[in-house]
Structure 1
């Protein structure tokens, strides 16, 4: 999916919502666990109820990998029920050198046909550029994350007082463009989103941390929105685990719609 098609979805739905499919067997409603493929059933119902409001889905690959071979089969089935016009993100946080990265890219882009994959930049250009060789596919590069440990490295200043995350932003722009690179920028760092936006004014951000992690959607839009929206705001637990009962999918729809209504107001305000 190219940038124009993604922005078109945002405009059509008045939404920049990404639903994170962190499908944890220990957290899904108990009544699903007797089914042949509980995780698929859970994800399918979430997708069916939230697709009106979501412009992206982000399966967290770890939750599927943990199930072994069955998990990979489940993931493929989940992908097949996501409407084709909705952007898909393999939240895999891959990144290795040379042929290894190329094989990771082939797995997610050719074999599974994801639109994008999250990639860790720590090993540099030769760990990222193999992912950028695929037309209309995206690298979502970890830049400024919302976890507590992010401060261990991402905010360390060099001799010129420049934080490491800013070096990542600047350097990576020579690897690709705003048509094939996005950045992960955590929602819990409101004013820092504005600092990131100054360095990469035209790129899309994948923004986790809204909802259960305490990030403010209005702050994200204030500091991060650009002329093509430039934001995919992810909510996982706040939507998919809003209810542990048989009504879980209906409640997920309600929570997704609440976010979409707020997003529409923000789009009307800033675009």
Structure 2
């Protein structure tokens, strides 16, 4: 999916919502555990319920690979079931030397055919450029919302005057264009998006943390939106686990619709 096509879907849906499929067998409704593939059965109903209100889905790969071959099978079926109009993100956070990154890229882009993958850039160019497949995206971890993110990301480089995460973002833009490269920026520090946009004004940002993690959607739009929206805001638990009863899909639909309506107003305000 190209940047233009993604922006087109955002305008069409009046939404920049990404639904995170962090599907945990211990949290899905008990009645689904009787299914042959409970994970896929859950994901299928979530996708059916939310597809009209979001533009992207993001399976967190850890929840699938922790289940062994059954988990990988469920992931494959989930990916194949997603509407092709929706941007698919393998939230795998891979990051390794070049030949290993080559294998990860092959796994997620050739075998599974995701549109994008999240990557940890600590090992530099080796951990990023092997994922630059034609028509695919690499989404680099930049300024995350977890508590430990502050251990390193906001260290100031005395030579440049930038935060470490800003220098990482600048360096990554030497390897890839805004047509291929996104950054992960946490929603719980919305004002930090000003620091992000100083060094990456044109890139799309994947913004987790809205919903259960307490992220501020209004602030994210105010500080992070650019002329092409430039945002994919993820909500996982706040949508998919809004209910653990037999009505889980209906409740998920209502939560997704609520976010879409708020996003529609924000797009009208800022675009």
Q: What's the TM-score once normalised by structure 1's chain length?
A: 0.99
Name 1:207's counterpart in structure 2: 207
1:166 positional shift:
0.7
SS of match in other structure, 1:96: coil
Give the 4+ runs in structure 1 shifted more than 6 A: none
Aligned pairs (5 A) from 1:179-198? 179-198=179-198
Aligned positions, number: 270
Report the 3-state secondary structure (helix = DSSP H, G, I; strand = E; otherwise coil) of the residue aligned with 1:109. helix
Q: Secondary structure at the match of 1:189?
A: helix
**Structure 1 counterpart SS, 2:188:** coil
The residue number in structure 2 matching 1:96 is 96
Matches within 5 A, 1:158-173: 158-160=157-159, 161-173=161-173
Distance 2:144 2:166 in 1: 12
Partner of 2:262: 262
Give the equivalent residue in structure 1 for 2:147: 148
**1:14-38 residue CA offsets vs partner (Å, 9 max, x unmatched):** 0000000000011001111111110
* TM-aligned CA deviation for residue 162 of structure 1: 2.1
CA distance in 2, matches of 1:223, 1:159: 26
Which residue does 2:47 correspond to in 1? 47
The runs of 5 or more residues in structure 1 that have no matched partner are none
Q: CA deviation at 1:156?
A: 1.1
Residues 232-243 of structure 1: matches in 2 within 5 Å?
Answer: 232-243=232-243
1:25 aligned residue: 25
Match of 1:36 in 2: 36
The two structures have a TM-score, normalised by structure 2, of 0.99
Displacement of 1:99 in angstroms is 1.3
Matches within 5 A, 1:124-143: 124-132=124-132, 134-143=133-142
Matched, 1:14 2:14: yes
| Distance apart, 1:91 and its partner CA | 0.1
2:228 maps to 228
Aligned to 2:113: 113
Residues 238-270 of structure 1 show CA distances to partners (whole Å, capped at 9, x for unaligned) of 000000100000100000000000000000000
Q: Distance between the aligned counterparts of 2:185 and 2:108, measured in 1?
A: 22
Distance (whole Å) between structure 2 residues aligned to residue 166 and residue 254 of structure 1: 37
Structure 1 CA distance, aligned partners of 2:190 and 2:55?
22
Distance 1:11 1:69 in 2: 38
The CA distance in 2 between the partners of 1:138 and 1:174, in whole Å, is 15
- Calculate the aligned-residue CA RMSD, in Å: 0.6
Counterpart for residue 250 of structure 1: 250
Give the match's secondary structure for 2:178: coil
